[in-house]
């Protein structure tokens, strides 16, 4: 399987790692740590050295209860970082945003993927993405970040999330976005109780029927805290367990703060599934 992302083709014959680079002051795990351009570039270089195939740059926190920022502020945070990464490192760059203005500025700076928690539902987003020929990731979220964890409810979370993703994918294809450019993300922890996320992980293979690449983010999630009683900085091992599980159930891209250990975990899964090392 391949993911066509503007000028890049990402090989997904084996699962790959997407490294998280938050350049925000308020992200739940690493807010403020990489807000300077030099610090962000150094972190990106470290993640590439550790095996990240994609660097996902975010300039607006989407943690539960977070408040949004305007497009100008978001652009000011992400564009200089993306420009430096694109000029310095040979890696696919993703922009984590729901604003068309930020998408366009980020791609102009060197990004080739749009990772949108709102599944390109902003006015004009799909038309722009089709014209720009970017790779896109469509995520499922019930509600919006400020209130999404207040009282999420589902009758059948697996079938409802799957139906949403397939429907949004069809809308994107109808808008002119190439099918091979679209990845899907069930949005673990986004408008979902821990039992909803567990059900999605258990039945992750149900979400791969479309043949689209499947992106899963489990790194440091509150789900791990619910199960293990661990704080944010103590969730590495739980996250590795979930990443390995997701890879074994068909996930193609694992989005994480912890690149090197996650890459090792999914390489071991691939070795077991294929019965070979290389």
Q: Which of 221, 235, 249, 263 is catalytic?
A: 221
Segments in the chain forming alpha helices (H): 37-49, 71-88, 100-109, 125-132, 157-174, 194-202, 222-228, 236-248, 259-274
Catalytic status, residue 221: yes
Q: What are the residues whose beta carbons fall under 8 Å from the beta carbon of 73, sequence distance 6 or more?
A: 59
What are the structure tokens assigned to 71, written together?
A: 């497009």
DSSP 91-119: SEEEEE-S-HHHHHHHHHHT--EEEETTT
Among 180, 259, 217, 185, smallest CA distance to 9 is for: 180
Give buried/exposed letters for 115-153 (b at 16+ CB in 10 A, else e). bbbbbbebeebbebbbebbbbbbbbbbbeebeebbeebe
Task: Identify the active-site residue in 6, 126, 193, 255.
Answer: 255
Residue 118: both structure tokens together:
């709102």
Helices (H), 14-151: 37-49, 71-88, 100-109, 125-132
User: Catalytic residues, which ones?
Assistant: 221, 255
């Amino acid at each position: 399987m391949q993911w066509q992302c503007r000028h890049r083709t990402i090989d997904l014959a084996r699962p790959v790692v997407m490294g998280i680079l938050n350049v925000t002051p308020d992200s739940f795990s690493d807010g403020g740590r990489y807000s300077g351009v030099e610090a962000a570039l150094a972190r990106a270089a470290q993640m590439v050295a550790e095996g990240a195939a994609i660097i996902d740059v975010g300039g607006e926190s989407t943690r539960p209860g977070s408040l949004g920022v305007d497009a100008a502020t978001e652009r000011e945070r992400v564009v200089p970082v993306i420009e430096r990464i694109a000029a310095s490192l040979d890696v696919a760059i993703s922009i984590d945003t729901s604003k068309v203005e930020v998408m366009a500025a980020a791609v102009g700076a060197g990004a080739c993927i749009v990772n949108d928690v709102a599944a390109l539902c902003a006015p004009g987003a799909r038309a722009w993405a089709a014209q720009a020929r970017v790779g896109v990731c469509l995520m499922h979220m019930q509600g919006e970040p400020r209130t999404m964890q207040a009282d999420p409810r589902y009758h059948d979370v697996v079938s409802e999330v799957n139906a949403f993703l397939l429907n949004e994918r069809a809308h994107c294809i109808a808008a002119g976005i190439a099918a091979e450019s679209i990845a899907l993300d069930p949005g673990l922890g986004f408008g979902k109780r821990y039992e909803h996320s567990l059900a999605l992980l258990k039945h992750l293979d149900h979400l791969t029927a479309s043949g689209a690449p499947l992106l899963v983010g489990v790194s440091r999630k509150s789900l791990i805290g619910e199960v293990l009683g661990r704080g944010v900085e103590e969730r590495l091992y739980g996250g590795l367990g979930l990443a390995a599980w997701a890879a074994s159930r068909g996930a193609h891209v694992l989005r994480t703060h912890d690149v090197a250990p996650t890459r090792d975990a999914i390489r071991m899964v691939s070795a077991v599934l294929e019965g070979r090392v290389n």
